[in-house]
Amino acid sequence: MKLNILGCYAATPRSFTNPTSQVLEMKNQLFLIDCGEGTQVQLRRNKIKFSKIKHIFISHLHGDHCYGLVGLISTFRLLNRESELHVYGPRGIKEIITLQLKLSNSWTNYPLYFHELTSKEPQLIYEDEKVTVETIPLIHRIYTNGFLFKEKPGDRKLLINRAVEYNIDVSLYKSLKKGKDVVSETGELIPNQLVTDEPAPSKSYAYCSDTVFNQKMIPQISGTTVLYHESTFLEDKAGLAFPTKHSTAKEAALIAKEAGVKKLILGHYSTRYTNINLFREEAATIFPEVDLADDGKVFVFE
């Protein structure tokens, strides 16, 4: 599992920082999460192949999370994209994008599908044979969701020496990896656990963009491998967090601690701060396994 931070700052783009966008690589798939201005430039700068992005998840319709989307969709057209593109986001995302495409006479030459979200409860919005994606309802000034990406359990690990010892034909190895009991060449029923081991633990990633301190999400993200949680303010500006429906680094750490996640990544810093290391210092007093997002930073989780 790999996370590429394309942008992680709040509000307006600057010459040296970008608004929110990131790419999650999970089970050999690339998922684009939010799409602030400059996203396609950052994709190029970070050498991420446009053609591998088939699913885009937009948390909410504030500009620093979606103003780069129509540009990216249009660039896909100029690159002669043929494969489907799926966009998941709040109701209204289709109207925003299609109006711009209509008035500029720039309709895509590839299938473009919108999956508009309205539920205020967690909802499964994507599933294939390897990955699921659920919404995480957040509390912001407008309708907003985070997203929970989870790997499905992989195949069991085959213990070759044991399989040979129990006289199991090679043709049955695939069944063993799928957790099935098999019959040996001598006619003996071999329980699966005798010749296989548990699969590698499934990884998960919880993306929580703009939100006020919200303990309701804790049961859903409990035990998550990695939590990205917005930390727009430090405690010195805590008085601004609730009115603007944002969180502080300390509050993000409290969520991580109560949810028992393995790693916390902070982001969405207010551009009023010149030293983002202060965010880590503040959060670490509560949750030590904390790191900082920054534009161009890559996290790899083995």
Give the separation between CA 228 and CA 218, rounded to whole angstroms.
Answer: 13
Q: How far is CA 290 from CA 224, 254, 263, in A?
A: 14, 12, 6
Confidence of residue 28 (pLDDT cuts 50, 70, 90): very high
Give the separation between CA 214 and CA 206, rounded to whole angstroms.
Answer: 14
Q: For residue 127, what are its two tokens?
A: 């599933």
In the prediction, which pLDDT does 200 show? 86
pLDDT tens-digit readout, 106-149: 999 999 999 999 999 999 999 999 999 999 999 999 999 999 99
In the prediction, which pLDDT does 302 show? 85
Burial class, 42, CB count within 10 angstroms (exposed 0-12 / middle 13-18 / buried 19+): buried
Which is nearest to 229 in space by CA: 247, 243, 241, 216?
Answer: 247
pLDDT tens-digit readout, 181-228: 999 999 999 999 999 999 889 999 999 999 999 999 999 999 999 999
Q: How far is CA 63 from CA 69, 109, 138, 190, in A?
A: 10, 26, 17, 59
pTM score of the predicted model: 0.92
Q: Does the pLDDT at position 154 exceed 90?
A: no
Catalytic-role residue among 34, 64, 210, 295 = 64
Name the pairing type of β-strands 124-127 and 112-117: unpaired
pLDDT tens-digit readout, 162-177: 999 999 999 999 999 9
pLDDT tens-digit readout, 43-86: 999 999 999 999 999 999 999 999 999 999 999 999 999 999 99
In the prediction, which pLDDT does 199 show? 87
* Angle between helices 93-103 and 69-78 in degrees, nearest 10: 50
Confidence of residue 89 (pLDDT cuts 50, 70, 90): very high
Confidence of residue 36 (pLDDT cuts 50, 70, 90): very high
In the prediction, which pLDDT does 197 show? 93
Confidence of residue 241 (pLDDT cuts 50, 70, 90): very high
Question: Is residue 64 among the annotated active site residues?
Answer: yes
Give the distance from CA 41 to its chain's centroid: 20
